[in-house]
Chain A
Amino acid sequence: MKIVVDFDLCQSHALCTQAAPEVFEVRDDGFLYILQETPPENLRGKVQKAVSECPTGAIQIEG
């Protein structure tokens, strides 16, 4: 599983950081940081939740 974020679409709503804090972090600078680009399979459910809750549809999973 590989995380792909379209940073042109991302508006730092930060909802992904609640759904999958192991993978996503929005820092005080207001930007999203991906902590693990290829997270382990046991995080798939959380990442899928982040994908579905992203208000700008900026996150996709490859693989």
Chain B
Amino acid sequence: MKRIVVVGGSLAGLRSLEALRKEGHDGELILVGKEPHPPYDRPPLSKQVLRGEWTADKTRLRFDASALGVELSLGVSATELDPRAQTLALSNGRRLSYDGLVIATGADARPVPATLPGGALNGVFTLRTLDDALALQAALSTRPAVCVIGAGFIGLEVASSCRALGLPCTVVEPLAVPLETKIGTPMAQLVAAMHRDAGVVLYTGVGVAGLEGAGSVERVRLTDGTVVQAQLVVVGIGVTPNVAWLAGSGVAIGNGVECDATCASSVPNIVAAGDIARWPNGFVGERMRVEHWTHAVEQAAHAARRLLQGPSFSEPFAPVPYFWSDQHGVKIQFAGHTRGGSAGADADEVRVVEGSVAERKLVALYGRKDRVVGVLALGKPARLVHYRKRIADGMAWSEIEHAV
């Protein structure tokens, strides 16, 4: 291929570029990224940046564009794709031709719902980008009482950072137990307990009726009538994949870019990687999008190989998904998958095999039918890695007795 264009200047995009060079692409490489900043890493945003420990500079991803021979086009977004002509239009008016294309446009924070009363008040934030994080960090320095709406990973990490700053923090979550769809109910209950112990006021199984205040938010009213005093609200209700620019292009889109098992899109010479790619993960046995750091790294490498080798490359991308979160000084790591606990559960059983709930240092395994399909570690990183490998190799539930 003469020219490969990568659209998306975050982790998946950068790692695609590196992988393309490593796999032998010696033609042109162009990176198109909509944010003006040099590429940065997102995990520190909700942690070190919010707590004021890191400046923006420290979040920069290690990436040497000139050494890799990459032409950077930052602060520019792709607006339209024409796969027949193999061109894309950019927001700066330029039209780029390509021989190969990597779509890594990721996802944006789901905005405050327009239907939410008071949603347009001042003092309401989302957190996805570096600019979001810097704005939120500045607002936190005025020492408000904080209400976090949505107890996903971002919401819970924001709550953790707020408590580290000594700010009063309330979290509101419609699920009965935060994260239960991610790590199963028993372990999710443990995480909820960690938050309560750290002084987070946690309201679960309840929604938000509206935000109230004069110009700026002062209160959050819940659907059960509870009123939470807060001068700052963080809305963490997930993300939406950035596929709008692909509409009408012929690239199959839905909840992301719809790919096959090799990360190829429905159109020749176009692959996708990172938060935006939805593909059938043979390990899990379903089509999925994964919004985690390690996933972006692994999928970028795979998609790059698929792009360079073409349709003859048939190796499926079937990783054991891995993510981590840092909350109240505890590293929570999870590998595999589970729907454990709730109705229609995928995981049949969750068993603590090392450590204990009491010491909050443990390894728990998740079983589905006769297989171990997931592992969660609190404060035991080496063991997480051990079990992730065993799960990838195929670990039977009956092996657990001999696992430790």
Contact = CB atoms under 8 A, between A and B. Distances in A.
B210 interface: no
Given A55-B43, A57-B61, A57-B62, A15 B294 contact: yes
Contacts, number: 42
A15 B302 CA distance: 18
B333 interface: yes
Nearest to B292: A55
Size category, B interface: 20 to 34
B6 to A, nearest CB: 16
A12 B377 CA distance: 12
A57 B41 contact: yes
A41 interface: no
A57 B230 CA distance: 36
A18 interface: yes
B15 interface: yes
B385 A55 contact: no
A20 B384 CA distance: 15
B404 interface: no
A16 B301 CA distance: 17
Contacts of A53: 294, 297-298
A28 interface: yes
B331 A18 contact: no
A62 to B, nearest CB: 14
15 contacts: A12-B331, A12-B381, A13-B324, A13-B333, A14-B382, A17-B385, A18-B385, A26-B385, A27-B382, A28-B382, A52-B297, A52-B301, A53-B297, A55-B294, A57-B62
Interface of B: 15, 18, 41, 43, 61-62, 293-294, 297-298, 301, 322, 324, 326, 331, 333, 379, 381-382, 384-385, 388-389
Given A17-B382, A26-B381, 10 more contacts: A13-B331, A13-B333, A15-B385, A17-B385, A18-B385, A18-B388, A27-B382, A55-B43, A55-B293, A55-B294
